[in-house]
Structure 1
Amino acid sequence: MRLLVLGGTEFVGRAVVEAALGRGWEVTVFNRGRQPLPAGARPVHGDRTAPDGLAALAADGGEWDAVADTWSAAPRAVHEAARLLRGRAGRYAYVSSRSVYAWPAAPGATEEAPLVQDAAADAGATDYARDKRGGELAAVGAFGAADSLLARAGLILGPYENVGRLPWWLTRIARGGPVLAPGPRELPLQYIDVRDLAGWLLGALESGLSGPYNLVSPPGHTTMGELLDACLRVTGADAELRWTDPETVLAAGIAPWTELPVWVPPGGEMYDAMHGSDVSRALAAGLVCRPVAETVAATWDWLVRLGGSAPLRPDRSRPGLDPRTEAEVLGGAGGVSGTTP
């Protein structure tokens, strides 16, 4: 197949490019050209946010079987690109987000759950949820419901992560010493490895799938304990996981998800939204999720190649817990020591 990827050098876009090249597809990448492409991809350079930023793509004359778009800011950029490519590409896959569902999301919400309101395909940037929903509307508006695929991803982890969640846990555990591990240890987690996302997306394009799919692992694919134990094993660090109950963590003023990435205390709306989505439609359409140990090991290998410091998107704040706060909580509550099985 001939694939056009809008983006293609960071995280999800890069995983899609590498997966497509691995399948022997012809891959064109449209981006700013600031980072090197995987070998074998054909570059077309332009800036979607600039006036006439799509000029090079308009002049290229290429035609494709499918487009993959990971844009997450103003939906106007998706709107303009999709309109330009209508008639030159067969299908349009937009990597969206489960954030498009109205808050609070009910436990086990399917693709039929209510969506955020006041999103528009040609709008400027507002907030993440409405921007992603606007991107969906732009894709469907240009290509129609039958030729647009909406991958509503949840928490994405794996190599090339430029949000910093799993890289923070790996680097923190690699530093050694007592580590504040937010409990309960058996807390079920839901996420997707970026390579599984990319593989499913390409397979769905080959199969002609359309419409929205919640794209994340089944609830309980792994646990907080299994995730952090895997970090401990791959780093080989002299670290001790000290499991601390959610009440103690929250009483210390520590923000779930941001200061302790991935973790959300059980039993609330935020946990249901982050780790309780129904994914039966994607599973029926071929989604396969690799074990958490593989995701952690590949991310650590990538970090080691980079020298231990992962890049971070300029529009995101760096996640993680201040060492002084961690020491204060551990000193006051102690935590329960944990060992790797």
Structure 2
Amino acid sequence: MRVLILGGSGFVGRCVADEAVGRGCDVTVFNRGSKAAPEGVTVLTGDRLGDLSALETGTWDAVVDTWSAQGEAVRRTAGLLSGRAGHYTYVSSRSVYAGTEREKAEDAPLVAGTEEGYAGDKLRGELGVRVFDGPVLLGRAGLILGPYEDIGRLPWWLNRLARGGPTLAPGPRELPLQYIDARDLAIFLLDAAGRGVGGPFDLVSRSGHTTMGEFLEVAAEVTGGRAQLRWTSPEVVTAAGIEPWTQLPVWLPPGELHTFLHGGDVSKAYGEGLVCRPVRATIEDTWAWLRSLPGDAPQRADRPQVGLDPQVEAKVLGE
């Protein structure tokens, strides 16, 4: 396939580019050129909110759009590429769903078009891509982990566990987790584009693909086995004022929000061929990538820093 990736140098876009190049696709990436491009791609330079002139010519079999800010940018490229691309994938988010009721899966109600922030931006991106004149796939991803992560969730846990010592492990150990490795997301998106598949898909692993216990125990082992996991009840964690998801990445206490983010129905995606690799593979490969970097892991400027202050951790553990 001739594949155009709008983005293509960071996290999900980078994984899509790597996968497409590995398949022998003719890959073009369009971005601002602020990061090194993956090997084997053609680079077009421009700005999603400004100059799109580099996209005014050319034809592609598939477009993958990873934009996560103003929805107008998606509408502009979808309109510009209509008639010159066979398929358009917009990497959206499960954040577009209104509330936390997930009984209807992909048919659940969506947030209002006036919603502020990330959820509203993703919804407006979904609305904007409707101007494309071919099949459109809406990849509503959940929690995304893996190499090239620039949000900091799995990298924070790996670096914390590598430091060793008594480590706050938020329980319960059997708490189910639901996420997707960015490379498995890339594989699904390219496979679906090749078949011309359209429509919305919730793209995460099955609930319980791993548990909080397996996730942290494997990560502790992979990073050298120096961490002593101190399993702590959700009540103790929240009573200490620790913010789930941000101060303790990935983790949410049992309840409605956990059920929404880690208990979604993904039967449609699995029916279309989604396959998720074991958690150990994601952890081992992310740790290998982190150790290969000359400095700290990349961090997106538009996302908050994650992680727990060591003094807060020590206080909760009574250290």
| 2:36 counterpart residue number | 36
Give me the whole-angstrom Cα distance separating, in 1, the residues matched to 2:86 and 2:216: 42
1:308 CA drift (Å): 5.9
Query: Is 1:68 matched up with 2:64?
Result: yes
Query: Is 1:138 matched up with 2:128?
Result: yes
Are the equivalent residues in 1 in contact too, given 2:113–2:123 (CA < 8 A)?
A: no
Give me the whole-angstrom Cα distance separating, in 1, the residues matched to 2:100 and 2:166: 35
Which amino acid in 2 is paired with 1:115?
Answer: L
Query: Is 1:162 matched up with 2:157?
Result: no
Q: Secondary structure at the match of 1:179?
A: strand
Give me the whole-angstrom Cα distance separating, in 1, the residues matched to 2:301 and 2:90: 22
1:278 alignment partner, one of 252, 255, 265: 265
Are the equivalent residues in 1 in contact too, given 2:6–2:64 (CA < 8 A)?
A: yes
1:226 alignment partner, one of 194, 197, 214: 214
Are the equivalent residues in 2 in contact too, given 1:75–1:138 (CA < 8 A)?
A: yes
Are the equivalent residues in 2 in contact too, given 1:175–1:237 (CA < 8 A)?
A: no
Give me the whole-angstrom Cα distance separating, in 1, the residues matched to 2:117 and 2:303: 13
1:64 CA drift (Å): 0.2
After superposition, what is the alpha-carbon deviation per residue over 1:284-316, rounded to whole angstroms, capped at 9, x for unaligned? 000000000000001000100014621100001
| 2:311 counterpart residue number | 324
Return 5+ residue gaps in structure 1 as ranges.
Answer: 120-124, 333-341
| 2:106 counterpart residue number | 111
| 2:27 counterpart residue number | 27
Q: What pairs up with 1:284-323 in 2 under 5 angstroms?
A: 284-307=271-294, 309-323=296-310
Q: What pairs up with 1:179-194 in 2 under 5 angstroms?
A: 179-194=167-182
Give me the whole-angstrom Cα distance separating, in 2, the residues matched to 1:189 and 1:308: 29
Give me the whole-angstrom Cα distance separating, in 1, the residues matched to 2:278 and 2:296: 24
Are the equivalent residues in 2 in contact too, given 1:171–1:308 (CA < 8 A)?
A: no
Give me the whole-angstrom Cα distance separating, in 1, the residues matched to 2:282 and 2:153: 13
Return 5+ residue gaps in structure 2 as ranges.
Answer: none
| 2:54 counterpart residue number | 56
Which amino acid in 1 is paired with 2:290?
Answer: L
1:49 CA drift (Å): 2.2
Return 160-169 or 131-140, whichever deviates more.
Answer: 131-140
Q: TM-score, normalised by structure 2?
A: 0.97
Give me the whole-angstrom Cα distance separating, in 1, the residues matched to 2:133 and 2:177: 35
Give me the whole-angstrom Cα distance separating, in 2, the residues matched to 1:308 and 1:254: 28
1:141 CA drift (Å): 2.7
Are the equivalent residues in 2 in contact too, given 1:168–1:319 (CA < 8 A)?
A: yes
Give me the whole-angstrom Cα distance separating, in 2, the residues matched to 1:156 and 1:331: 33
Are the equivalent residues in 1 in contact too, given 2:3–2:62 (CA < 8 A)?
A: yes
1:166 CA drift (Å): 0.2
Are the equivalent residues in 1 in contact too, given 2:174–2:213 (CA < 8 A)?
A: yes
Q: TM-score, normalised by structure 1?
A: 0.91
Q: Secondary structure at the match of 1:17?
A: helix
1:126 CA drift (Å): 3.5
Q: Secondary structure at the match of 1:72?
A: coil
Give me the whole-angstrom Cα distance separating, in 2, the residues matched to 1:70 and 1:127: 16
Give me the whole-angstrom Cα distance separating, in 2, the residues matched to 1:102 and 1:93: 22
| 1:336 counterpart residue number | none
Distance 1:114 1:191, change over 3 A: same
User: Alpha carbon RMSD of aligned pairs, Å?
Assistant: 1.3
| 1:337 counterpart residue number | none
Give me the whole-angstrom Cα distance separating, in 2, the residues matched to 1:171 and 1:44: 35
Give me the whole-angstrom Cα distance separating, in 2, the residues matched to 1:110 and 1:265: 22
